[in-house]
Structure 1
Amino acid sequence: MQRRVALVLATAVAFATLAGTTHAASPVFDVNRDFYPYYPSLIKWDKSTLDFTPPSVCQGCHEKQYKEWTGSVHQLAFQDPVYQGELNKAVKAVGHEISRQCEGCHSPAGVVTGEIKGPGNAGLSEMALAGVSCDICHSVSGTTHWQTPSHEPENGSFILAPGAETKDGPRFVKRGPFTPSAECGGGFHDCVESPLHLQADLCASCHQVYHYDAHFPLEATYLEWKHGPYAQRGILCQDCHMVETQAFLKAADQFAKPQRGEYRHFFNGANYLLSYLAAGAARKAGNQEQAESSMKQYAMAVDRLKSAASVEIIPNYHKGELTELQVRVKNLRAGHNLPTSLTNVRQMWLEIVAKDEAGRTILNSGQAGPDGSLPANARLFNSDGIGEDFHFAVDPWVVTSFSRHDTIPPRGYKDVHYGVPPLKGVKKLNVEVKLRYRQADQKLAEALLKAVPKDIDLKKTYGLTAVPPLPVVDMAVQKVAVTPRQPGR
């Protein structure tokens, strides 16, 4: 018996050892650090003797595009004070090496050249501060989406090749979506037609943000688009985010691709908060023209949000009596889920108020408090992040899964049901529903802005002595009058 027990135990240990060895040799998310030298950023740099070209140089020949890009979320990607606050917290929590995951997309040139060594803007070159500049997008020569640890686009999985060594010496090479003319580049750089610049894969590299080590998708905007109807009909990221509002509406409603002359370098989306802060900074610096340009970006972002969704109020009756109000929220025009990006931080929620004919409140939910906080019964369309211990978490370096993921797919909808109390003596119920949006929870935004590096003076740069209430956009508003008894009963 003892020999049999010993044999069983020895066999179990052998299998356990083999299993452990196999798991260690073949992890699900295998990382080739030689292939990705800037890990956890997945950028690759085809280095030549030529350096990156600052946007002020590009401005000389491309004034129109430069003005459109200036003040855009791409231009401000690294300088964004909310991002800098998050970056500063991340470095303190997990170290600067890990923070390259963020920096690789917010300032690619600053990462591959090694210029960025920590949070803050002090002492950095124009190129590093320029974030996602002209020379970044137009130097992308390919992607490594299939080679990433997740085998999906993530954390900057693109290849930068701003120059090339030729038999005639080093040459700048810039890539674009169309066949170049003979005069393209003006002798300063060569021009190459790039089919990649006509694909959403170009954007996917940075609009898929995964946990730096667990490779969990914190943001999966590209996959939301790819698995939806807009990808099926060939409407790309560029067709909605590189055009003005009217062209966007046409692309979203009719699946009609914009004309070549309609594309712009605004890169406009839902981040109106960054444009709002940038306008304040420009006014503080005395640059009224830039302030007006930033407010145009702000208005475009708000217009997109207001056109993205709709709400419908449906009264439900039981035995002739009104028992609940059903609110249907539709994603009308976003080619990805609504909301997208950091869905555990973004706040899109329903506010509902129902009053009787005398103005007495019968039902209410979702009203923000004086401090900007939302009540526990507010119906949010977002995600709840959890860490490895399966407890609630919001920091992106902690979140490794979602306990709840409740966003609305493109052209899809979600229903919310509100129970109605007995309405004795009530003749009419006036109902108003708002779909509201802000970039983040008020307290979270305050914490991030308070965490900005010391070299960023919010008062000096933005005129902020305290964190103001975050702007809230009413994406959709619907009002109806409902009878407590079912019509015809």
Structure 2
Amino acid sequence: MAVSTKLLVLVAAAHMLVPVSSSAQEVVGKLFATSDNCVACHNGLVTSEGDDVSIGDDWSGSMMANSARDPYWQAAVRREMIDHPEAAAEIQDECSACHMPMARYKAMSAGEKGEVFAHLPVGPNPDEQAALAHDGTSCAMCHQIQPEGLGDEASFTAGFVVDETTPRGDRTIFGPFVVSEGRRHIMNSAALFEPREGAHIQDSGLCGSCHTLYTHSRGKDGAVIGTLPEQMPYLEWEHSNYPGRESCQSCHMPTLEKEMPVSAVLGEPREGFSRHVFRGGNFFMMRMLNRYRGELGVTAAAGDLENSVRETIEHLQSASAELEVTARKKTASTVEAVVQIRNKAGHKLPTAYPSRRSWLHVTLRDADGELVFESGRLQPDGSIAGNDNDMDPGRYEPHYETIDDPSEVQIYEGILAGPDGQVTTGLLTATRYTKDNRLLPEGFDKRTAPADIAVRGGASEDGSFRGGGDTIGYRMDVGDTPGPYTIEVSLWYQPISFRWAHNLAPYDAFETRRFLRYYESMSADSGLVLANARTVVR
């Protein structure tokens, strides 16, 4: 059979298996397409062991797919618009860049600003622009990003580049594999994109284009008065010893050990198939999306979100941290313990959005099992007992080298301050971090770290706080209680802390009220134990 005849057979087979959708036909000449144009071929993928690794289903349960539906993000954008009403249009443009990237890029290419609330709430029968917005960080966004400049400063804060001139039907969609001519024609006829190998799709710089994010700090009149390094996972990774060892994708998009086709339609087995699970840290939000799926317009199957929660928790508990505790009885009434924490991640722990925090929960019990000392208990409302910031929004816990009072808590977090030095959770009010003692990755030298990822506050002078983790002492008064004493230590993690949630309460808007209702209904499960350690002092 001639090559051209083989090609015709393959294309005909593709049309029989995957009819060209009307939506695909309608968007010829446009920049993007929604994920429904992709998943028909990239779902239905099952390994020989029976594991479903469908690309579309994995992605649909992730925060990438649901970035526009995120009720905390929506509430935070509304809060910023209330704080800075003169800059409402600019704020929506800035905040849609990574949460509604296709809609925003399309608007930008037309000389317009991105919008947020014009596309909400998520509902049935959206117009084209709203459909792109609702699709979040989707297939045709990431896979169309051009390789030039990735990892450079200009690419940060959604500074990625997409081809804006080539008409649909001839546009390139990048993937990690070489694609034969026949299969290129199949995808082009079915989805109106031309697939090509692009090694940059596995470059950490591609992820860094959104996960190196600077926000504009604004004054009372809405004018820009500075910038804030809102989240810097890529630069943290770059300053560690992980480059050359592990990329963002190798950790957050794990590869299968065996060959696997990436398409259910005439796909060929590929080595290095990357799961599109996008393992991150926001198990709490994915649970919230599933619980309130009707109100939020969630279209992912409940099981896909449950799988994402499970994989996220498994990853957090296996790949985040290790704990070790040693202790001795110092005096007749005092027990001393030393806790060592190792950060196993390739960036700070926690990283990214500054609502996230980790902390140590330490207990000491006597021979009768009675609680003698406790620091860092998570309470049902999502607050941490003894945490100054949860009790008073204007205060916060310092970084400790030694804790000798149950009211003191070691919390690894970023605390923001405005130009007046006041503590704030307003991203566009903040101009700097007044505290940043988030655990450093291996190889991170805090002495040479650039200002945007620098350690701030007491941890900067703590010699035991260094690349790879932290060591902290506990001095606990046991009085005349009977030994032996059992010390248990847990490292907790919370994606959305109590203060970041409850600072939305003064804002009387639908989005802020809704999120607080959600948070208060789920706050008892807002935290997760990452690691445990235990020792007995005789």
- What band does the TM-score fall into relative to the shorter chain? 0.7 to 0.9
Q: Please list, as runs of the form range in 1=range in 2, the aligned pairs for 1:265-304 lying within 5 A after superposition.
A: 265-282=276-293, 290-304=301-315
Is the 8 Å Cα contact of residues 311 and 329 (structure 1) preserved in structure 2?
Answer: yes
Alignment-derived partner of residue 181 in structure 1: 180
* Equivalent of residue 402 in structure 1, options 433, 445, 451: 433
CA deviation after TM superposition for structure 1 residue 295, in Å: 0.7
Is the 8 Å Cα contact of residues 408 and 414 (structure 1) preserved in structure 2?
Answer: yes
* Amino acid in the other structure paired with 2:176: P
**CA separation of 1:283 and 1:145: change in aligned 2, threshold 3 A:** closer
Q: Secondary structure, in 3 states, of the residue corresponding to 2:80?
A: helix
Unaligned runs of 5+ in 2: 1-27, 44-53, 108-112, 218-225, 259-269, 388-407, 443-467
Q: Please list, as runs of the form range in 1=range in 2, the aligned pairs for 1:74-153 lying within 5 A after superposition.
A: 74-94=64-84, 95-114=88-107, 116-119=114-117, 121-122=120-121, 125-142=130-147, 144=149, 151=153, 153=155
- Aligned-partner Cα distance in 2 for 1:60–1:112: 25
* Amino acid in the other structure paired with 2:501: A
**CA separation of 1:72 and 1:336: change in aligned 2, threshold 3 A:** same
- Aligned-partner Cα distance in 1 for 2:256–2:71: 27
The reply on whether 1:50 has 2:60 as its aligned counterpart is no
* Amino acid in the other structure paired with 1:445: A
- Aligned-partner Cα distance in 2 for 1:207–1:330: 23
Deviations 1:85-123 (A, max 9, x none): 111112222322133222101111211333853436135
**CA separation of 1:400 and 1:360: change in aligned 2, threshold 3 A:** same
Q: Secondary structure, in 3 states, of the residue corresponding to 1:404?
A: strand
CA deviation after TM superposition for structure 1 residue 178, in Å: 2.0
Is the 8 Å Cα contact of residues 93 and 114 (structure 2) preserved in structure 1?
Answer: no
Alignment-derived partner of residue 464 in structure 2: none
Alignment-derived partner of residue 527 in structure 2: 472
Alignment-derived partner of residue 266 in structure 2: none
Farther-moved stretch of structure 1 (366-375 vs 297-306): 366-375
- Aligned-partner Cα distance in 2 for 1:244–1:451: 44
Is the 8 Å Cα contact of residues 367 and 484 (structure 2) preserved in structure 1?
Answer: yes
CA deviation after TM superposition for structure 1 residue 322, in Å: 5.2
Alignment-derived partner of residue 426 in structure 1: 482
Alignment-derived partner of residue 337 in structure 2: 325
Is the 8 Å Cα contact of residues 162 and 172 (structure 1) preserved in structure 2?
Answer: no
Is the 8 Å Cα contact of residues 278 and 291 (structure 1) preserved in structure 2?
Answer: no
CA deviation after TM superposition for structure 1 residue 269, in Å: 1.0
Is the 8 Å Cα contact of residues 86 and 451 (structure 1) preserved in structure 2?
Answer: no
**CA separation of 1:480 and 1:139: change in aligned 2, threshold 3 A:** same
Deviations 1:181-208 (A, max 9, x none): 2112243321222222121010001001
**CA separation of 1:455 and 1:87: change in aligned 2, threshold 3 A:** closer
The reply on whether 1:413 has 2:412 as its aligned counterpart is no
Deviations 1:214-233 (A, max 9, x none): 23312110011111122142
CA deviation after TM superposition for structure 1 residue 396, in Å: 1.1
Farther-moved stretch of structure 1 (427-436 vs 113-122): 113-122
* Equivalent of residue 70 in structure 1, options 49, 54, 60: 60
Q: Please list, as runs of the form range in 1=range in 2, the aligned pairs for 1:421-460 lying within 5 A after superposition.
A: 421=477, 423-424=479-480, 426-446=482-502, 448=504, 454=510
Is the 8 Å Cα contact of residues 32 and 140 (structure 2) preserved in structure 1?
Answer: yes
Is the 8 Å Cα contact of residues 173 and 192 (structure 1) preserved in structure 2?
Answer: yes
Q: Secondary structure, in 3 states, of the residue corresponding to 1:335?
A: coil
Alignment-derived partner of residue 360 in structure 1: 370
Aligned length: 414
Q: Please list, as runs of the form range in 1=range in 2, the aligned pairs for 1:5-44 lying within 5 A after superposition.
A: none
Is the 8 Å Cα contact of residues 121 and 456 (structure 1) preserved in structure 2?
Answer: no
Is the 8 Å Cα contact of residues 504 and 512 (structure 2) preserved in structure 1?
Answer: no
Is the 8 Å Cα contact of residues 60 and 300 (structure 2) preserved in structure 1?
Answer: no
Deviations 1:379-417 (A, max 9, x none): 101121111222212211122211111011224111122
Q: Secondary structure, in 3 states, of the residue corresponding to 1:86?
A: helix
**CA separation of 1:451 and 1:145: change in aligned 2, threshold 3 A:** farther
**CA separation of 1:294 and 1:160: change in aligned 2, threshold 3 A:** same
Is the 8 Å Cα contact of residues 221 and 337 (structure 1) preserved in structure 2?
Answer: yes
**CA separation of 1:282 and 1:244: change in aligned 2, threshold 3 A:** farther
* Amino acid in the other structure paired with 2:251: C
- Aligned-partner Cα distance in 2 for 1:287–1:152: 34
**CA separation of 1:382 and 1:244: change in aligned 2, threshold 3 A:** farther
Q: Secondary structure, in 3 states, of the residue corresponding to 2:423?
A: coil
**CA separation of 1:293 and 1:57: change in aligned 2, threshold 3 A:** same
CA deviation after TM superposition for structure 1 residue 282, in Å: 4.7
- Aligned-partner Cα distance in 2 for 1:304–1:226: 21
Q: Please list, as runs of the form range in 1=range in 2, the aligned pairs for 1:325-404 lying within 5 A after superposition.
A: 325-332=337-344, 334-343=345-354, 345-374=355-384, 375-376=386-387, 377-404=408-435
- Aligned-partner Cα distance in 2 for 1:446–1:386: 17
Unaligned runs of 5+ in 1: 1-47, 248-258, 484-489
Is the 8 Å Cα contact of residues 175 and 191 (structure 1) preserved in structure 2?
Answer: yes
* Amino acid in the other structure paired with 2:71: P
- Root mean square deviation, CA, Å: 3.3
